[in-house]
Amino acid sequence: MIHLIVGNTGSGKTTYANQLKEKTNGIIFSIDTWNNTLFLPDKKPTDGLDWFLERIDRAESIILNLVKQLEHSKTDAILDLGLSKFEHREKFRRFAKLNDFELQLHFLDISKETRFNRVMKRNENKGETFEFEVSKDNFDFMETWFETPTIEEMKEGILITK
């Protein structure tokens, strides 16, 4: 099964993915870890959103190949990839349908205040789920970037509100 972990910045996606891993014995793909390891060391101050999106798309090509291998070995794939946009989530739904893989959406619908407090605390503590600092400007940008899952997307989805 493919698990799509969806939520805005600071909603607890990585923490939730780790809990789900314990329940399913699945493998987590966290785009924050991929970005931090593969791309951020090469980022220049002039590189913007398009620079990141291109690299995320390339990483996801590898991830999709690995997901196929996991599915054939009956191991769940837990995708903590941001999935902020409807069309991004659609990419994975189409992939699952094309390959006859089961897919489950998990939406962490957490208040903006709670999420912001979590992000500031994570920036300060640099704990287990810290990959890079998220500024207030980055947080505010994500508030405008994120698209809440539609009613149709949530028909068989799992909603987490705390």
Among candidates 7, 4, 3, 6, which has minimal Cα distance to 26?
A: 3
The mean pLDDT value for 31-37 works out to: 84
The mean pLDDT value for 20-34 works out to: 92
Specify burial of residue 106 (Cβ count, 10 A radius: 0-12, 13-18, 19+).
Answer: buried
pLDDT of residue 145: 86
How does pLDDT run across 52-77, given as a tens digit for each residue? 889 989 999 999 999 999 999 999 99
Q: Model confidence at 36, in pLDDT bands (50, 70, 90)?
A: confident
The H or E element spanning position 120 is helix 112-125
The mean pLDDT value for 38-60 works out to: 89
Q: How far apart are the first and last CA of the chain?
A: 24
pTM score of the predicted model = 0.86
Q: Structurally, how many domains does the chain consist of?
A: 1
pLDDT of residue 120: 81
Helix/strand/coil (H/E/C) assignment for every residue in 34-95: HHHHHHHHHCCCCCCHHHHHHHHHHHHHHHHHHHHHHHHCCCCEEEECCCCCHHHHHHHHHH
How does pLDDT run across 102-157, given as a tens digit for each residue? 999 999 999 999 999 888 888 787 877 777 777 788 887 888 889 999 999 999 99
- The whole domain housing 9 covers 2-160
Taking the CA atoms of residue 21, residue 22, residue 26 and residue 32 in that order, the dihedral angle to the nearest 10 degrees is 20
Which CATH number covers residue 35?
3.40.50.300
pLDDT of residue 90: 97
